[in-house]
Structure 1
Amino acid sequence: MTLPVRHLPGSLLERPFPGLGWNEPVTAEFDELFERMNRLLGSAAIAPAALALSPAADMRDTDDAYVVEAELPGVKRDDIDIAISERELRITGDFKEREREGVLRRSTRRTGHFEYHALLPANVKADEVSAALSDGVLTVTLPKAQATKPQHVEISEP
């Protein structure tokens, strides 16, 4: 289905180009538009973290800890950094490219920097956090800080 095209008098296509006898778009206005778009896109620079890969991960909530399992196939222990703040877990590192012989014809493996961020629902005991890497799966166990448990308070008579 085609839609009708509407021409407005005085639009860019109907303005005469200086020095020529026929109607052409005014290039100065287009140049200004492109320059403004470039400035807008340049000011909204993409942060490097937004370009990082994010590994597949699961987060479980158990009675006494949060357990995060992140898939990091082929990543060595020394290439992973784990940081804990009050309520945030951050796992960063690099998927490194393997050295190969011959010509690489096709590759679907990920390479480059990766980051995983998780906001934790409650405070954790940062000094008791543990991590293990086995079969390409990083398991981070974050013990929960003990919150004040509700208690029954007796009301005494005066």
Structure 2
Amino acid sequence: MDLRSIVPSLWGRPAGSPDPFRAMHREMDRLFDEFGQTFRTSAPAARFNGLTPNINVSETDEAIEITVELPGVAEDDIDLTLVDNMLTIRGEKKSEIEEKDKNYHLVERSFGSFERSIALPYELDTDQIKADFQKGVLTVRLPKPPEIEAKTKKIQISSNN
């Protein structure tokens, strides 16, 4: 019996067959990473075995918040640094068990090192930066300096009647 016939397929495509859109997406990511690294840092972009951890960057009047999805990564395997307004997240997702006697028919889990760098628009008070890691999500809160915090002012609207 061909086990590939019982492995789930994605959108009618047999499981394990190459996805041209995924390959194109990875290649575009690689090109943009290499292009961006030329201007931002001399270190090459380390990849999460072909994948880059997903990041959200949000902003309020008081802070910038960065969340990074790192499922399966141990807290001790994450390194967070800030150098010259460049926040860098490095780490490694390690394989728990190496099984040589198994005949795998589908492998989608990835392991290896990763690195993401985010240029910040201003200098921060490094003593105020907070990082929290829960359930595979790293959250970094970067408070804005007081002179950067947005000041809200109500503007009166009038009609010309």
How high is the TM-score relative to the length of structure 2?
A: 0.58
Letter aligned with residue 122 of structure 2? A
Tell me which residue corresponds to 2:39.
none
Structure 1 contact 86–124 (Cα < 8 Å) conserved: no
Distance across 2 between alignment mates of 1:52 and 1:67 = 23
Distance across 2 between alignment mates of 1:48 and 1:97 = 25
- The structure showing larger relative contact order (alpha-carbon pairs under 8 Å, at least 6 residues apart) is 2
Determine helix, strand or coil for the equivalent of 2:89: strand
Return the offset for 1:52.
Answer: 2.4
Number of equivalenced pairs: 104
Return the offset for 1:111.
Answer: 1.1
Tell me which residue corresponds to 1:132.
132
Distance across 2 between alignment mates of 1:51 and 1:82 = 15
Structure 2 alignment gaps of length 5 or more: 1-41, 150-161
Tell me which residue corresponds to 1:76.
74
Tell me which residue corresponds to 1:119.
119
Residues 1:103 and 2:102 aligned together: yes
Structure 1 alignment gaps of length 5 or more: 1-46, 150-158
Distance across 1 between alignment mates of 2:148 and 2:72 = 42
User: Aligned pair in 2 of structure 1 residues 119, 104: CA closer, same or farther (>3 Å)?
Assistant: farther
Return the offset for 1:85.
Answer: 2.2
Tell me which residue corresponds to 2:9.
none
1:32-75 CA-partner distances (Å, limit 9, x unpaired): xxxxxxxxxxxxxxx87334232100001111111000000011
Determine helix, strand or coil for the equivalent of 1:49: coil
Pair member with larger Rg? 1
2:90 to 92, 112, 119: 92
1:117-138 CA-partner distances (Å, limit 9, x unpaired): 1011222211111111111110
Distance across 2 between alignment mates of 1:120 and 1:104 = 46
Matches within 5 A, 1:1-158: 49-53=44-48, 54-99=52-97, 103=102, 105=104, 106-147=106-147
Structure 1 contact 49–115 (Cα < 8 Å) conserved: no
User: Aligned pair in 2 of structure 1 residues 104, 126: CA closer, same or farther (>3 Å)?
Assistant: farther
Structure 2 contact 68–138 (Cα < 8 Å) conserved: yes
